[in-house]
Structure 1
Amino acid sequence: MDLDCKDRHAACLFKETFCDGGGSLKIWKRNCPSRGGDNRSSVEGITGRVFSFSKGAFQDVLENNYESLHVLNVERNGNIIYTYKGDKGHIFFGLYDCKTRQNEHLYTFEKDLQVVSCSVNSERTLLAASLAQSTKEGRRNELQPGSKCLTLLVEIHPINNVKVLKAVDSYIWVQFLYPYVESHPLSENHLLLISEEKYIEKYHIQVTQEDGNRVVIKNSGHLSRDRIAEDFVWAQWDMSEQRLYYIDLKKSRSILKCIQFYADESFKLMFEAPLDISLSDSGFKLVNFGCDCRQGQEKLSKHLTLCVFTNHTGSLCVCYSPKCASVEQITYSVFYIHKGHSKTFTAALGSAGTHVTKGITFLNLDYYVAVYLPGHFFHLLNIQHPDLICHSLFQAGNNEMIDMLPHSPLQSLSGCLVLDCCSGKLYRALLNQSYLLWFLWNTCLDCEKMAALHCVLSCGRGLRVLEGQIIQWVSENVSACHSFDLIQEFIIASSYWSVYPETSNVDKLLPYSSVLTWNTDIPGITLVTEDIELPLMKVHTFKGYWEKLNSNLEYVKYTKPHLHYNNSVVRREWHNLISEEKTGKRRSTAYVRNILDDAIKVISNLEARNLEPRLTPLLQEEDKHQRLLMGLMVSELRDHLLRHLQGVEKKKIEQMVLDYVSKLLDLICRILETIWRKHNLHSSVLHFKGHGGAAEFAVFHVMTRILEATDSLFLPLPPGFHTLHTILGVHCLPLHNLLHYIDSGLLLLTETAVIRLMKDLDNTKKNEKLKFSIIGRLPPLIGQKICRLWDHPMSSNIISRNHVTQLLQNYKKQPWNSVIDKSSFRVEFLPLNYFIEILTDIESSNQALYAAQGHDNVDAEFVEEAALKHTTMLLGL
């Protein structure tokens, strides 16, 4: 996507790409998941058409039986199991290998049966299938008498025996467990059986090799099994993480439980969490135990939807949509268990009489949960930072985002997979950055700008090109937002995401937004937030995800005040250092030196990351005040993280702090570079001569907005920023406006800028007025230094005044005893003569002190000459 993204047509939020290539049954999936199904490294959204046909062994069968082609399951390694019916009604089982992109025939049942569920082990040696008798009128019962569902275990490497696991009058679902380690064949496989009679069992299946590669079941007459759960009303299988969630009812309370399965054959009950929802009359419901294409639209729209989502940061969300009864609005809830509260959203459906014919789909999109009601709305909920509603994106009605999404019922599978039940297409739902950038350029609502900005940064963190496109948008829209400061929000959010993946708990310690409260309503959305009971963890040692979840729960449980870092301490300490500098007092030089050394590290770190030459003269100037501020921020932020980040190496924290502060400065530099490049400014702008045009004024305006944004947060600016800002201010502003900017603090005079001003401008009447106004506003120490560079009566006058003030500040009147040779005075002006005599007397009596202070040949005679020249100038003589 080029930089001018605002002029491009929007892409679909979920991008669809069609496959090509050989293979009889092509199931296309880009960025196929690795073991565990984790696809977080992918940054581009894709949706793939499940089936396309080309020449191959099964081409005729498939083309003639397309309607019978169904996806049954997507295993943890990404392989897809599907079935289709042959001309004679036989059921064919096939597997698509996502790594080799080849299809493999697994097994054929020579009976016309309905497949309820199917799973294959990781070695593809065992196939578990649950079959139901055909319901077509006049068709005889194909199963054992009295049974409704037959569950079989088949040896398929090569095809050998078939063992009946269950023959019962209730539906059975099957699922093989997939261990993390797949480097060698397992001697024992584990199979979950989920019964409609509300129990779950785990079968232990030992296998052995005979006659070479022939794999057979050992002790097939008696397979040991464990009862995992019973008396539940709802269950969900997390394929990628090998977790089982289920809900049982205790005294009409819905208790969510989770069992974690491990590679060493063990399993543990991890937690119990009460949910404030009623499932007593909802019937039996399963999620993610294969693909159920038989759900009708009517069933989807009238029955509740419940699912659990997690991600690698330790989040745990329960998404719940009750039965839909209203034709005007629909309600759903998200329990942010890792945050200790729930949010209930009520979305208007538009005009009265609008009927909901399709069910809500919840999608897991890493840092977000998408809530989609075909034809009505698409909501993108921020689960990492759900505190403010403006961090979530709400789209409703007729717009391009909703129009481009599938309008048929969707079934969410493990990970980011989604099945379109009508078309049979399988999607991997990932956010499309191109569309989000287009949306960022074109939306008008502040809440949508805020949400889209955070969404783009979170799903494309670390991508410099993407960040550059956002910077262009920021630089052209600095005044477009009324509810928040766009520059502040971008700097804080982007800096946060630049270091967020490095360690856990950073989200609790670093600010991710400049907005503390949001009081503006979101059109069409009402929201109720409630505290919830935290889950009771049933284990005592945690690893991986569970350690992060437990850390989140501990934070909610014991940490009441927010621990987000702010610069209040830095502000106070910086003002103290500046005050000490003005009064000539300064604490130990070692303390100040350490602070300045931290600033040097930041600038070195920043320059090492930026290999391109800069257009603007930033980071090339000393600017001690900004370096002090920079070093203080490094020092205070490092102490803050060291206090609260337990178990993280000090060296890692120090590098994280340097990266964070460097990122702040880099973003400011890049915003300025972008606007500089846009207006094609050149080096002549860096001199005080000449007048500024529209380009200089545009850059000056952006710099002023940057200054306002950083000042309220008390963030450092790159050295050289204030000098450049002053130069542009002199170019663009009338004198009275310029002085007003200086007096109000919007323009900060630096020594470099004033020295350049004195050298660049001649002594015309207009320039003299400007120079004198500038010098009069400088701190005394800098003012004295600057005056010595300006050979002008005004400058001499100022030097003389400062000299006199310094001499007389401790002067005590002495009895008159004139020893001065009056013949040395050229003018008989008694008041001046008397004053000069006093100064000469002070100088002669304190000659050692006077010489030590080094006054650059400023003495009573210099004062006399300056006074006479100034008087002459004032009288016009």
Structure 2
Amino acid sequence: MALRLVADFELGKDVLPWLRAERSASEARGVGSGGADVVENDYESLRVLNIERNGNIIYTYKDDKGNVVFGLYDCQTRQNELLYAFEKDLEVFSCSVNSERTLLAASLIQSTKEGKRNELQPGSKCLTLLVEIHPVNNVKVLKAVDSYIWVQVIKNSGHLQRDRIAENFVWAQWDMSEQRLYYIDLKKSKSILKCIQFYADESYNLMFEVPLDISLSNSGFKLVNFGCDYQDQEKLSKHLSLCVFTNHAGSLCVCYSPKCAAWEQITYSVFYIHKGYSKTFTTSLKNVGSHMTKGITFLNLDYYVGVYLPGHFFHLLNVQHPDLICHNLFLTGNNEMIDMLPHSPLQSLSGSLVLDYCSGKLYRAMLSQSSLLQLLQKTRLDCEKMATLHCALSCGHGAQLLEGQIIQWISENVSACHSFDLIQEFIIASSYWSVYSETSNVDKLLPHSSVLTWNTEIPGITLVTEDTALPLMKVHSFKGYWETLNSNLENVKYAKPHFHYNNSVVRREWHNLISEEKTGKRRSTAYVRNILDNAIKVISNLEARNLEPRLTPLLQEEDSHQRLLMGLMVSELRDHFLRHLQGVEKKKIEQMVLDYISKLLDLICHILEASWRKHNLHSWVFHFNSRGSAAEFAVFHIMTRILEATNSLFLPLPPGFHTLHTILGVHCLPLHNLLHCIDSGVLLLTETAVTRLMKDLDNTEKNEKLKFSIIVRLPPLIGQKICRLWDHPMSSNIISRNHVMQLLQNYKKRPRNSMIDKSSFSVEFLPLNYFIEILTDIESTNQALYPFEQHDNVDAKFVEEAALKHTTMLLGL
């Protein structure tokens, strides 16, 4: 199942055996009465009453005399303790105990039998008592109210505040871990959600108000997480479901499912308050029947909200990035994973805790990476692949192992998706999550997906998106969660554009630098040196992250073009963060930038190495005397897909990537296909790759044709170097052409110098003799202007010999 429920506590295993042992011990001492049947009847009323902020669990049951008994299970010591017993037949709705276990607060009413009035207080539905359970029993009445209330034990029991926190509300939810009270107040038929934050010093603030487009006027009164939602479970499906979820990243979601008039389809809404809009989902149901006594359960799963209807569907809604529907995962009742969840209603508590009230089991809910990986491998829908990939990467724990498994799957299914580029999406999403926790505003500055729009429908799901009002914040000083939420609201309020980084500036600057290199007019060396120093930092950071030797020959050459691209991305991304991450120290930003770009490169290396390993190219040696194998062609194919993925985003590649790609292309492709790939930019000729070809290939007719075809496609500066490595008339011809072009580019015709020694020309070929005479004259009179030391004794004599050899070769003599 995509959702994994780990049982932290179970009444039947952690409490009941202890209670039975205590009862047996009491009976052995002559205290207590009743046989086994009476004992079991007592414990039928055993239920969880409250999960305290420290994780301890308070439970209650009624003994054979109808007395209400309170017990506590210590989550640290895993021991039970009886706290107190009321010698009255009362119904308990909430309870709490202080950390010293000296004060017990309980909200309760007397069981109302038919025709019997409440005897606690006329007109009162609930009475709250503060009991000193150690060292002596001292009962104080906190307050009697006309509805159910929740209590928390305060520090100073001698001074009880009489402040009225809220009144006239129809719905309330208590967040134990964060000490927040959410409630809805009806004003002029509008539902106004409010939140009160309580602090350790017993002060509190009303944090915000926000109108919700929901109808609660006729729904009746409901409390969420007050006494763990102790209500008539049979009526759950007849009432609306409403709950509020937050996470540390500043999200605020209100999940709402109205009363169901018919079960053919289910509608529920999620108000993404931190985004300024709501989404209403409608899903059709199949095989409506036995399970429809159950209602919808909403679960807080950090970056996701789980929506669960037992036996029918389980949806995972992306809270952090809800813009595109493809980032949500919709599993239907036909999915075997859903049947693994309990069919009883689940109550989402603070944090990731989930209570199965019927069985008394307390679970810790988390997304199952292994199940998500299985789903990724099995599903055929692109939308589910997209959603599952993001969901798995967001889990965080065991990231390296999970990434390795996803990469292995990608290497085997690189063409599995048609709606998006799988490699591209994985690289962007995984790099994003690798630095996401560094600062709260990263989600506004870095793209989490390569997909900007999604128009394909999700089978069985219809979606309506509507703008909603933003909360009116009631305080002016924010800390922690509230500061992050307010930052999110500010972005929505002032319609700030997306600040997601892209490489457009890097693309433009990189092309400028490459153009300058070709023309020999590059700007100051200090500027270029600074960019290359950035690249050195990235590669050092990358090597520090991965201490194991790499299988592939990457990061082993200079590849100045990729280093320029890498260094430019460091510079631009650093400036981007400095502009928008106020208050974050420069050193931390610098490291975050290095980590992000290192992650990009590392993922590319790992994708290639997974294919390398799969095709058993561990000890791969390039042999030019045979055609490329199927394994080499498969690696060449995935390298081409990696290149396509990075090109559109203009991401750097590990130095050595283009060299390996070109060599594999030479080995695997026919010449015309190879040259087409070079001309179309799929293969980039690096000096390292071409040097190896010139040295390793012999001068058969086929190889001569290949070498010449490659040399003529090289940039002039590299071409001049490479030609000297090939001892062949064709190479000499190219060198001669370059030499002549440089000599004659500023040549002006002058009177001939008749003093030149004609005997130096050994061949009577008048056009050639005349041309060589001109070149010799230029060389002798302008030697200072043409210092061709780098040309390895290239002169008019060399040009003459090359011309004759080339002519002879063309004539077949």
Contact 1:333 1:343 in 2 (8 A): yes
Within the alignment, does 1:561 sit opposite 2:497 as a pair? Answer: yes
1:455-494 alignment to 2 at 5 Å?
A: 455-460=391-396, 463-494=399-430
Q: Could you tell me how far apart the structure 1 residues matched to 2:322 and 2:83 are?
A: 46
Q: Which residue of 101, 104, 109 maps to 2:81?
A: 104
Q: Could you tell me how far apart the structure 2 residues matched to 1:404 and 1:62 are?
A: 33
1:54 deviates by: 9.0
Q: Could you tell me how far apart the structure 2 residues matched to 1:229 and 1:536 are?
A: 18
Contact 1:301 1:358 in 2 (8 A): yes
| Corresponding residue number in structure 1 for 2:149 | 173
Q: Which residue of 183, 195, 206 maps to 1:269?
A: 206
| Corresponding residue number in structure 2 for 1:342 | 278
Q: Which residue of 742, 745, 750 maps to 1:814?
A: 750
| Corresponding residue number in structure 1 for 2:759 | 823
1:351 deviates by: 5.9
Change (3 A) 1:145 1:556: closer
**1:74-108 superposed Cα distances (whole Å, 9 cap, x missing partner):** 11111111012223332211011111111110011
Contact 2:301 2:367 in 1 (8 A): yes
Comparing 370-379 and 134-143, the one that deviates more: 134-143
Comparing 782-791 and 335-344, the one that deviates more: 335-344
Q: Which residue of 378, 389, 398 maps to 2:334?
A: 398
| Corresponding residue number in structure 2 for 1:325 | 261
Contact 2:317 2:328 in 1 (8 A): yes
1:753-832 alignment to 2 at 5 Å?
A: 753-832=689-768
Q: Could you tell me how far apart the structure 2 residues matched to 1:142 and 1:230 are?
A: 24
| Corresponding residue number in structure 1 for 2:192 | 255
Q: Could you tell me how far apart the structure 2 residues matched to 1:808 and 1:461 are?
A: 68
1:835 deviates by: 1.3
Change (3 A) 1:447 1:275: same
Q: Could you tell me how far apart the structure 1 residues matched to 2:39 and 2:553 are?
A: 67
1:531 deviates by: 1.5
1:685 deviates by: 3.0
Q: Could you tell me how far apart the structure 2 residues matched to 1:508 and 1:12 are?
A: 28
Contact 1:128 1:174 in 2 (8 A): no
Contact 1:69 1:84 in 2 (8 A): yes
SS of the residue aligned with 1:400? coil
Counterpart amino acid of residue 285 in structure 1: K
Counterpart amino acid of residue 681 in structure 1: L
Structure 1 unpaired stretches of 5+:
1-10, 28-49, 179-185, 189-204, 207-217
* TM-score, length basis structure 1: 0.88
Counterpart amino acid of residue 94 in structure 1: G
**1:293-330 superposed Cα distances (whole Å, 9 cap, x missing partner):** 43223x21121111111111111111111111233211
Contact 1:303 1:323 in 2 (8 A): yes
SS of the residue aligned with 1:847? coil
Q: Could you tell me how far apart the structure 2 residues matched to 1:439 and 1:589 are?
A: 52
1:364-443 alignment to 2 at 5 Å?
A: 364-443=300-379
Within the alignment, does 1:515 sit opposite 2:412 as a pair? Answer: no
1:609 deviates by: 1.0
Q: Could you tell me how far apart the structure 2 residues matched to 1:127 and 1:177 are?
A: 7
Instruction: Quote the RMSD (CA, aligned, Å).
Output: 2.2
1:52 deviates by: 6.4
Counterpart amino acid of residue 345 in structure 1: F
1:355 deviates by: 8.0
Q: Which residue of 789, 805, 810 maps to 1:874?
A: 810
Q: Which residue of 217, 229, 242 maps to 1:280?
A: 217
Aligned residues: 801
Change (3 A) 1:559 1:590: farther
| Corresponding residue number in structure 1 for 2:30 | none
Counterpart amino acid of residue 746 in structure 1: V
Q: Could you tell me how far apart the structure 2 residues matched to 1:52 and 1:733 are?
A: 73
**1:318-360 superposed Cα distances (whole Å, 9 cap, x missing partner):** 1111111233211111111111111111111136889843211
Change (3 A) 1:517 1:87: same
Q: Which residue of 495, 500, 519 maps to 1:583?
A: 519
Q: Could you tell me how far apart the structure 1 residues matched to 2:585 and 2:653 are?
A: 29
Within the alignment, does 1:732 sit opposite 2:642 as a pair? Answer: no
1:253 deviates by: 1.6
Within the alignment, does 1:863 sit opposite 2:781 as a pair? Answer: no
Contact 1:119 1:174 in 2 (8 A): no
**1:767-797 superposed Cα distances (whole Å, 9 cap, x missing partner):** 1111111111111110110000110111101
1:651 deviates by: 0.8
Change (3 A) 1:354 1:732: farther
Change (3 A) 1:473 1:18: same
1:477 deviates by: 1.6
Within the alignment, does 1:151 sit opposite 2:128 as a pair? Answer: yes
SS of the residue aligned with 2:48? strand
Contact 1:488 1:710 in 2 (8 A): yes
Within the alignment, does 1:504 sit opposite 2:447 as a pair? Answer: no
Within the alignment, does 1:241 sit opposite 2:217 as a pair? Answer: no
| Corresponding residue number in structure 1 for 2:229 | 292
Counterpart amino acid of residue 180 in structure 2: R
Counterpart amino acid of residue 761 in structure 1: L
Within the alignment, does 1:232 sit opposite 2:169 as a pair? Answer: yes
Q: Could you tell me how far apart the structure 1 residues matched to 2:18 and 2:735 are?
A: 90
1:118 deviates by: 1.8
Change (3 A) 1:136 1:876: same
Contact 2:6 2:365 in 1 (8 A): no
Q: Could you tell me how far apart the structure 2 residues matched to 1:652 and 1:283 are?
A: 52
SS of the residue aligned with 1:430? strand
Change (3 A) 1:782 1:461: farther
Contact 1:328 1:354 in 2 (8 A): no
| Corresponding residue number in structure 2 for 1:698 | 634
* TM-score, length basis structure 2: 0.95
| Corresponding residue number in structure 1 for 2:33 | none
| Corresponding residue number in structure 1 for 2:62 | 85
SS of the residue aligned with 2:150? strand
SS of the residue aligned with 1:274? strand
SS of the residue aligned with 1:277? coil
Q: Could you tell me how far apart the structure 1 residues matched to 2:6 and 2:169 are?
A: 38
Counterpart amino acid of residue 736 in structure 1: H
SS of the residue aligned with 1:380? strand
Change (3 A) 1:294 1:277: closer
1:178-197 alignment to 2 at 5 Å?
A: 186=155, 188=156
Contact 2:772 2:796 in 1 (8 A): yes
1:255 deviates by: 1.2
Contact 1:111 1:142 in 2 (8 A): no
| Corresponding residue number in structure 2 for 1:57 | 22
Q: Could you tell me how far apart the structure 2 residues matched to 1:751 and 1:450 are?
A: 39
Q: Could you tell me how far apart the structure 2 residues matched to 1:177 and 1:145 are?
A: 26
**1:197-246 superposed Cα distances (whole Å, 9 cap, x missing partner):** xxxxxxxx22xxxxxxxxxxx7xxxx441101112111111111001111
Q: Could you tell me how far apart the structure 1 residues matched to 2:466 and 2:641 are?
A: 38
| Corresponding residue number in structure 1 for 2:31 | none
Contact 1:327 1:354 in 2 (8 A): no
Comparing 852-861 and 603-612, the one that deviates more: 852-861
1:470 deviates by: 1.5
Q: Could you tell me how far apart the structure 1 residues matched to 2:98 and 2:651 are?
A: 56
Q: Could you tell me how far apart the structure 1 residues matched to 2:353 and 2:618 are?
A: 51
Q: Could you tell me how far apart the structure 1 residues matched to 2:20 and 2:716 are?
A: 87
Within the alignment, does 1:628 sit opposite 2:564 as a pair? Answer: yes
| Corresponding residue number in structure 2 for 1:598 | 534
Counterpart amino acid of residue 452 in structure 2: L
1:174 deviates by: 2.5
Q: Could you tell me how far apart the structure 1 residues matched to 2:625 and 2:509 are?
A: 38
Q: Could you tell me how far apart the structure 1 residues matched to 2:256 and 2:565 are?
A: 48
Contact 1:374 1:407 in 2 (8 A): yes
Within the alignment, does 1:13 sit opposite 2:3 as a pair? Answer: yes
SS of the residue aligned with 1:429? strand
